[in-house]
Structure 1
Amino acid sequence: MKKFILLAIIVVSCNTKTKTTQKPFNKLANLIDTYAVHTLNKGNINSIALAIYKNGELHYNYFGELDKGKNNTPNDSTLYEIASITKIFTGSLAAKAVLDKKIRLDDDIRKYLNDDYLNLEFEKTPITIQNLLTHSLGFKNKHPKQFSSINDKIAEGFYINKTIDYNFDNFLEELKHMELDKKPGTFFEYNSVGPELMAYILQKVYQKEYKEILYSFLKELGMNNTYLKDFEKHKKYIATGYGAKNELVPLYKNPLIGGAGGMISTLPDLIKLLKFQLESKQPLVKEATRRLFKNEETNMGYLWQDLGIGQEEGFYYSKTGNSLRIQSGILICPDSNYGEIMIINNNSDAANNDYFDLFYTIETDLIKYPKINLKSYLKQDFLRDKKIAKQKFNQLKTDSKNYFNTDLSNSLNKIGYELLEEKHTKKAIEIFEFAVTEDPENANLYNSLAEGYFESKELEKAKKSYLKSLMLNDKKENPNQFLIKNGKSNLKKIDSLLKIN
């Protein structure tokens, strides 16, 4: 992992292009930018494009470089593969077709297919439009065999300079041999078959090519820089992307209609989609996000996923896109009037972990806004002068109307761990040391301090702090079992290392 000195935080912040609105939203926007820079400094992600929306106010920004060392920060013209986010456009068009009375959710899909397809039912229960939109087809195998093989070759880059020898006619022919072993509508399995068949059915009922139907919808939304399958035309504007081993990964080419994947878009265009979801009064929005399927794994609307109701934020829904080189996501919460978009051009496990940590950190701040995260707001003050920062913290923590995260010990602990993650070990230790002087009976803080010492290979100090943590924890009426297990395990490691040394 690449290490960054703290000065890098300031440098990157100054070089990013900032678009904010007036106070108090500025305070939130500045924190979001700080979170993004800290995430970049972990070294697992090349670049970040993000947008937040709350109560009509918008902030978006770009960070890092698409290719390290090339100084090519993303911008408003950068096109991203949005992968499975493509599906929500198919879902929205299906919702429109339902409202237009072109289709019904309970329609047997064979009504719109040219051949009989006697295989597309299980115990006399057919696959319906609703099953296409909710990944609940009931197939024994997720995808047709040849289609899966073609997709694997596309991912490997086999077709970079070759024409794909597979099309939708081949797909329909393979569909005749697909076997169902579950009742449609009773089992969730994420797939591309449903959205692609949905796009085909939309062509049938509107008597137009799917691309024409889609582009008409995009024009209504003002999304003039969003495209389907125009990779060659827009190649130089499409963001590069890196895979699981930080290798350059080729662009994905969808050999089918484009209902499941294959769209490219810019961040400003995706913001238009976000605002449409939150600001439009069209019945289409409500219909497309109506729950059509629920199980323990997910709640589905019209290809929107993870529909739910949060205790604080109310109704929300989302969609992610993963192209093996780009990770993207959009979250909408109409009850609390906020939304979030984030895109990175890396797809390793470490990059994805950082991506989702950042995404949910931002979401928490959006949910709490107009309250501001006091820990994050004063983090830099603690790094400059801990005593003055403590005074500020104590002054502001009573202002529960404007701030949250107002527990000093917990906040210092979080700051310390953030610094450890960013490989600023010495700074982390300084924060933990300050924290235990402020709260000397806190077993958790001593455990954290021990981890800092262990990270910096100060084994005797780490041992002393773990022992102190265990002693304080043992005094409690209900000892923290994690601290006991963690402390004892690490003390064994330390003793082994001390013997070796």
Structure 2
Amino acid sequence: MHKFLVISSISILLFSCKTNSNNLSEQVLDPIEYSMSNSAKLILENPEINSISIGIYKNGETYTNYYGEIDKGKNNKANDNSIFEIASVTKTFTAYITAQAVLEGKLNLDDDIRIYLDGSYNNLKFDDRPILIKDILTHTTGIQREHFSKTLAKMFSIDITENERKTISGYSKKDFIKDLATYELKIKPGKKYDYSGFVAPEILGMILENIYEKSYAQLLKEQILDEAQMSRTSMQISDHDQKHLLNGYTNNNQLVKPLQTPLTGAGGGLKSTVPDMLRYIKFLLENSDPILKEMRKPLFYDEEEEDQYGYFWMVQGEDLLMHNGGTGGNVNWLILLPKINSGFTVSFNYNGDNANDLINTIASLLINDLISHPKKNAYYLIRNNINKKPENWVKKYQELKENNGSAYNFEDFSLLNDLGYELLEKNEIEKAIEVFQLLILEFPNSADAFDSLGEGYLTNNQYELSLINYKKSLELNPQNDNAQRMIQKIQEINKR
């Protein structure tokens, strides 16, 4: 069973930010603040995480808060002035400009990209299939970033030397065009998702510059930054703002210096603040409906990962648009939920081994909480109580549900399922089994509940009980391939 949703998201001009102390009781916090505080607290249980920055937009109001400390041991919390690298989330800005160009008739999604480039580029096709505009937007160009340029291949490495850093910073548009003209495609474009980093988006940046006869930076400023009043968002950090740029870290609290992105930066060069990103969310949700609709148009389905892509965004119909970004020392998500007029940004100044799992966890929790709003997520309430180890935990759960059912959402299946898998990962197997047993009491007709309990028993080497539950899961859902595999696995174990 999947533990989390995500794999791998204001007034007219004035912000009404609601920031609260982390020490306020849960009874005082409203549902948004409760969600921010508790999800951050959960993530900060992991010692590698330094600082968490969260901004939420919900129905015209904004909420910001910052947790942890930028540099361990210095008690320096991030704030509204703190600047972080949004990295590949920059692609959503490029997507907006591209969607605008399509709606204006300046581009067509099925156009051969070579129409808009100076030069012939006979190499940018495979089996007579050229790279199309939509291939760039869906990372299906066939261009592999690690093979594109030896210089750029080191760009996001944490162990680059100062000489390599200078070489990357000096990588010019002329260098890029030379590499582009000599690159050899190995697969047919449009067939396979293969994330190209900022290489393919940089081509799109050049195309946008050619069709508008303006620099990418100028297009960005005119079409988005000025319109959304994002005065703290830019490609380059001024000398005055250097003091606000967050330090980034990777494994073992190793400091990673930010790297000024060369070229236009269309695929990953922007730096921003939480309040500015909330202005961007408002701008997308409220002021640009035709463009938002165009950007979420499904253009490619990745069968292997079961993900669907629009204009760079990962999309789920009209419900959800997502994009994440990461540099050597930073990782973040930008999430939009148009149907409920909500969105959020969340970032860590850490990008080590566990960064993706942890940023996905908090993003998933925030999504669920916004969907359940105004009810609070009972996950945190239940989790805090089970960790206190009451003698009769099931009875305690029933008391919590009876006493808090009107204010907290106890109806979400993932509530107990996620908690059970969290306990399994901590090797607290007996407690996990007890949670999965409760899950079945709450959802007696759920095939997934019996599947989860089957996994709990299997982890505890209780094969007969595991088999019973997997068979029940398969009875409830004959299409449950996982249950079929596990039944076969247990039968093979029993034959030994």
Match of 2:199 in 1: 193
Compared CA separation, residues 377 and 206, structure 1 to 2 (3 A)? same
Match of 1:499 in 2: none
Q: Quick one: which of 149, 154, 160 aligns to 1:156?
A: 160
Counterpart-to-counterpart distance in 1, 2:141 and 2:433: 57
Compared CA separation, residues 180 and 416, structure 1 to 2 (3 A)? closer
Are residues 1:333 and 2:375 paired?
no
Is the deviation greater in 386-395 or in 166-175?
Answer: 386-395
Counterpart-to-counterpart distance in 2, 1:110 and 1:48: 42
The answer to whether the 8 A contact 1:375-1:406 is kept is: no
For residue 219 of structure 1, report the CA deviation from its aligned partner: 1.0
Could you tell me which amino acid in structure 2 is paired with residue 372 of structure 1?
K
* TM-score normalized by the length of structure 1: 0.74
SS of the aligned residue for 1:270 comes to helix
For residue 151 of structure 1, report the CA deviation from its aligned partner: 2.4
Counterpart-to-counterpart distance in 2, 1:121 and 1:281: 34
Compared CA separation, residues 165 and 111, structure 1 to 2 (3 A)? same
Match of 1:275 in 2: 282
Match of 1:202 in 2: 208
Counterpart-to-counterpart distance in 2, 1:433 and 1:110: 58
Are residues 1:119 and 2:99 paired?
no
SS of the aligned residue for 1:91 comes to helix
Compared CA separation, residues 438 and 368, structure 1 to 2 (3 A)? closer
For residue 220 of structure 1, report the CA deviation from its aligned partner: 0.5
- Cα distance per residue 1:287-344 (max 9 Å; x no partner): 222222223143222221x2114xxxx6211100010210100111212333222100
Q: Quick one: which of 247, 254, 259 aligns to 2:266?
A: 259
- Cα distance per residue 1:120-156 (max 9 Å; x no partner): 2223332222222221213477542344345267861
The answer to whether the 8 A contact 1:140-1:179 is kept is: no
For residue 28 of structure 1, report the CA deviation from its aligned partner: 4.2
Counterpart-to-counterpart distance in 2, 1:362 and 1:391: 26
Q: Quick one: which of 160, 170, 176 aligns to 1:171?
A: 176
Could you tell me which amino acid in structure 2 is paired with residue 151 of structure 1?
M
For residue 476 of structure 1, report the CA deviation from its aligned partner: 7.0
The answer to whether the 8 A contact 2:301-2:308 is kept is: yes
- Cα distance per residue 1:54-110 (max 9 Å; x no partner): 344433210000100111111000000111011111111111112222222223222
* TM-score normalized by the length of structure 2: 0.75
Alignment of 1:409-424 (within 5 A): 414=419
Counterpart-to-counterpart distance in 1, 2:397 and 2:187: 61
SS of the aligned residue for 1:190 comes to coil
Q: How many residues align?
A: 448
For residue 229 of structure 1, report the CA deviation from its aligned partner: 2.5
Counterpart-to-counterpart distance in 1, 2:386 and 2:396: 10
The answer to whether the 8 A contact 2:228-2:279 is kept is: yes
Match of 1:290 in 2: 297
SS of the aligned residue for 1:171 comes to helix
Consecutive unaligned residues in structure 2, runs of 5 or more: 1-18, 442-448, 474-482
For residue 218 of structure 1, report the CA deviation from its aligned partner: 0.7
Compared CA separation, residues 277 and 167, structure 1 to 2 (3 A)? same
Match of 1:88 in 2: 92
For residue 283 of structure 1, report the CA deviation from its aligned partner: 1.6
The two structures, once aligned, show a CA RMSD in angstroms of 4.4
Is the deviation greater in 385-394 or in 42-51?
Answer: 385-394
Compared CA separation, residues 18 and 435, structure 1 to 2 (3 A)? closer
Structure index of larger Rg: 1
Alignment of 1:308-387 (within 5 A): 308-309=316-317, 315-377=319-381, 380=384
Are residues 1:307 and 2:315 paired?
yes
Could you tell me which amino acid in structure 1 is paired with residue 369 of structure 2?
D
Could you tell me which amino acid in structure 2 is paired with residue 174 of structure 1?
D
Could you tell me which amino acid in structure 2 is paired with residue 109 of structure 1?
I
Match of 2:187 in 1: 182
The answer to whether the 8 A contact 1:397-1:403 is kept is: no
SS of the aligned residue for 1:248 comes to strand
Compared CA separation, residues 153 and 36, structure 1 to 2 (3 A)? closer
Are residues 1:38 and 2:42 paired?
yes
Compared CA separation, residues 420 and 196, structure 1 to 2 (3 A)? closer
Counterpart-to-counterpart distance in 1, 2:212 and 2:190: 26
Counterpart-to-counterpart distance in 2, 1:276 and 1:255: 27
Counterpart-to-counterpart distance in 2, 1:218 and 1:283: 18
Between the aligned residues of both structures, percent identity stands at 30
Could you tell me which amino acid in structure 1 is paired with residue 236 of structure 2?
K
Question: Which structure exhibits the higher relative contact order, with contacts defined as CA atoms closer than 8 Å and separated by 6 or more residues?
Answer: 2
The answer to whether the 8 A contact 2:329-2:351 is kept is: yes
Counterpart-to-counterpart distance in 2, 1:323 and 1:432: 35
Match of 1:220 in 2: 227
Could you tell me which amino acid in structure 2 is paired with residue 180 of structure 1?
L
Match of 1:250 in 2: 257
Compared CA separation, residues 413 and 364, structure 1 to 2 (3 A)? closer
Counterpart-to-counterpart distance in 1, 2:246 and 2:157: 21
Compared CA separation, residues 209 and 250, structure 1 to 2 (3 A)? same
The answer to whether the 8 A contact 2:416-2:436 is kept is: no
Is the deviation greater in 192-201 or in 228-237?
Answer: 228-237
Counterpart-to-counterpart distance in 2, 1:16 and 1:145: 47
Could you tell me which amino acid in structure 1 is paired with residue 258 of structure 2?
L
Is the deviation greater in 229-238 or in 266-275?
Answer: 229-238
SS of the aligned residue for 1:110 comes to helix
SS of the aligned residue for 2:178 comes to helix
Consecutive unaligned residues in structure 1, runs of 5 or more: 1-14, 452-465, 490-501
SS of the aligned residue for 2:241 comes to helix
Compared CA separation, residues 105 and 473, structure 1 to 2 (3 A)? closer
Compared CA separation, residues 154 and 202, structure 1 to 2 (3 A)? farther
SS of the aligned residue for 1:72 comes to coil
Is the deviation greater in 145-154 or in 48-57?
Answer: 145-154
SS of the aligned residue for 1:268 comes to helix
Is the deviation greater in 235-244 or in 105-114?
Answer: 105-114
Compared CA separation, residues 403 and 227, structure 1 to 2 (3 A)? same
SS of the aligned residue for 1:156 comes to coil
SS of the aligned residue for 1:359 comes to helix
The answer to whether the 8 A contact 1:139-1:180 is kept is: yes
